[in-house]
Amino acid sequence: MDVTSPASAAQSSGTAPTAARDAADLAESFDNFLVLLTTQLQHQDPLDPLDTNEFTDQLVQFTSVEQAIKTNDKLDALIALQGADQLTGALGYIGKLVELEGVGLSLESGEATLVYDLSANAAGTSIEIQDQEGNTVRTLTGASGAGRHELVWDGKDDAGNQLPDGAYQFAVTAVDSSGQHIALSQGSFARVDGIEVVDGIVTLAVGELMVTLSQVKSVRTDDDGTASPA
């Protein structure tokens, strides 16, 4: 089981080190500014004193930048907390069979279950399954009635050869009697193996597929096909 800790999730964004570096750079620049200002004041011409408005404006600018950095720090902390909450919530998906929206298909133990929903009755429905190189390995004929359909692919290619488990993709095409394409949605069922944080985003490891939480449409709760919304 692959689980990334909330602390790791917070650190993965890389924003905290950047904010700290910006604050350190600002502090160093401000110290240099004060040294230069003090030197100028010590050596200014009494008959032509330094314009106070100029360095007052510079002080205001430093203050504005400092406040902006502090605001960014607070936003980073808030984002890290949200990421940690998402990570904790995602733990409940591990080991569950989830319905995923999209074209990805995970072949596990020689089987994969795909789902599609037709907006209207079709004259014909074709399903093409492709490998990771985009080669069509199997073409199936699907049910053509309007509504939701599930189909179990046995993991074999068109020649009857058993293909290795892994990540595949599929495309459902449905046309009416006049050859016009029918609107549809498609997805697949797969079991969640673990959780990872990729570029600060909590993702589910489903076989060799990596999917976001937003792609989860439902969770299958038992073996009789019942699913609950995600």
Structural domain boundaries, residue 70: 6-93
Last residue of a domain, one of 50, 73, 93: 93
Distance CA 100, CA 97 (A): 10
Distance CA 83, CA 79 (A): 6
pLDDT value of position 13: 43
- First-to-last alpha carbon distance for the chain, in angstroms, is 21
- Domain membership flag for residue 227: no
- Over the stretch 52-93, which tens digit does the pLDDT of each residue have? 666 667 666 766 766 666 666 655 555 454 555 666 777 788
pLDDT value of position 134: 94
Q: Are residues 73 and 106 in the same domain?
A: no
H-run or E-run covering 88: helix 52-90
- Over the stretch 120-155, which tens digit does the pLDDT of each residue have? 999 999 999 999 999 999 999 999 999 999 999 999
Tokens representing 115 are 């789902």
Higher pLDDT, 124 or 17: 124
pLDDT value of position 71: 65
Q: Are residues 73 and 105 in the same domain?
A: no
**Domain holding 165: CATH number?**
2.60.40.4070
- Over the stretch 3-14, which tens digit does the pLDDT of each residue have? 443 344 444 444
Tokens representing 213 are 């939480």
Distance CA 3, CA 99 (A): 20
Q: Are residues 33 and 122 in the same domain?
A: no
- Over the stretch 169-214, which tens digit does the pLDDT of each residue have? 999 999 999 999 999 999 999 999 988 877 778 888 888 888 888 8
pLDDT value of position 20: 63
